[in-house]
Amino acid sequence: MAGTKNHDYHILPPSIWPLVGSFSALTLTSGGVLFMHGMPAGKFVLLLGLAGVLLTMFSWWSNVIKEAHAGDHTPVVQLHLRYGMILFIASEVMFFVGWFWAFFDFSLFPSTLADVVGGQWPPKAIEAVMDPFDLPLLNTLILLCSGCTVTWAHHSLIHGNRDGLKKGLWATILLGLLFSSIQFYEYAHAPFGFGGNTYGSAFYMATGFHGFHVIIGTIFLIVCLKRTYNGDFTPRQHFGFEAAAWYWHFVDVVWLFLFVAIYVWGGWGYPTH
């Protein structure tokens, strides 16, 4: 009886993936720096690090799914997984706070950057800004609808409606792909580029990273859809889907702030493209 489990916690076996993930992340960031400085090996190091990160994500999360199937995710373990997801989203919030901070610093105090922005915001180098009530408004409506469809899928899962779960996930994934396609089209026809002024840099970094998060969230939901067809998720145990839904709602809320602060307020009264 010495090995009898008398607690609800899951004691993890030794795993190599935290170590592999750490070195892969270091390789990825180092490769990014080398690549941006035009070093010959930068692209190779960057791709090597990216491959390591993707391998770590796939292998580690596959192990987590196997643990769930083995019954290791007790209510206590599920609670702590939720705590971890909440802390991760909180860290993502602070990541976007940095971009908002930069944008507001440039826009509220243009006189302190007279040599860069010409003492006005948007800078004189910007001839026109995005029309917020054209494609950005359409994308806002698309993301709001996607928030409704992922909630529909969540409620269907809770009530044991597998058909509603699949339809809600399909609708959310398609809306996410539509959002990304429209944003790509918007970037391709933007009246200003990434570099050359603080407005373009702040705009593309904030909205571009959000677009990257939409792509990650869409992949997250595609994995959930595949697991749904595999018969995973029950009304009592579905943290994987719940985490994806939380992440998607976070993406929705961030976009609302981006739309109001950067698209509407940031270019108010300026000529639109």
pLDDT in tens, 155-207: 999 999 999 999 999 999 999 999 999 999 999 988 888 777 788 888 999 99
**Mean of pLDDT values over 25-49:** 92
How far is Cα 192 from Cα 200, in angstroms, rounded to an integer?
A: 7
pLDDT at 88: 95
Please determine, for residue 270, whether its predicted confidence score (pLDDT) is greater than 80: no
Find out whether 157 and 238 touch, Cβ atoms under 8 Å: yes
How far is Cα 62 from Cα 65, in angstroms, rounded to an integer?
A: 5
Q: Break the chain into its structural domains and give their ranges.
A: 14-72, 74-265
pLDDT at 114: 55
Please determine, for residue 136, whether its predicted confidence score (pLDDT) is greater than 60: yes
**Mean of pLDDT values over 86-113:** 87
How far is Cα 199 from Cα 266, in angstroms, rounded to an integer?
A: 9
pLDDT at 157: 95
How far is Cα 150 from Cα 165, in angstroms, rounded to an integer?
A: 9
Interaxial angle between packed helices 198-229 and 162-188, expressed in degrees from 0 to 180 and rounded to the nearest 10: 160
**Which one has a higher pLDDT value, 45 or 237?**
45
How far is Cα 144 from Cα 158, in angstroms, rounded to an integer?
A: 21
Find out whether 228 and 162 touch, Cβ atoms under 8 Å: yes
Structure tokens at 43: 């692209």
**Mean of pLDDT values over 48-68:** 92
pLDDT at 192: 83
Residue 240 DSSP one-character state: H
The yes/no answer on whether domain 74-265 falls in CATH 3.40.50.150 is: no
Which pLDDT band, with edges at 50, 70 and 90, does 131 fall under? confident
Residue 14 DSSP one-character state: P
Q: Quick one: which of 223, 236, 250, 173 has its CA closest to 65?
A: 223
pLDDT at 117: 58
pLDDT at 178: 97
CATH class of domain segment(s) 14-72: mainly alpha
pLDDT at 111: 66
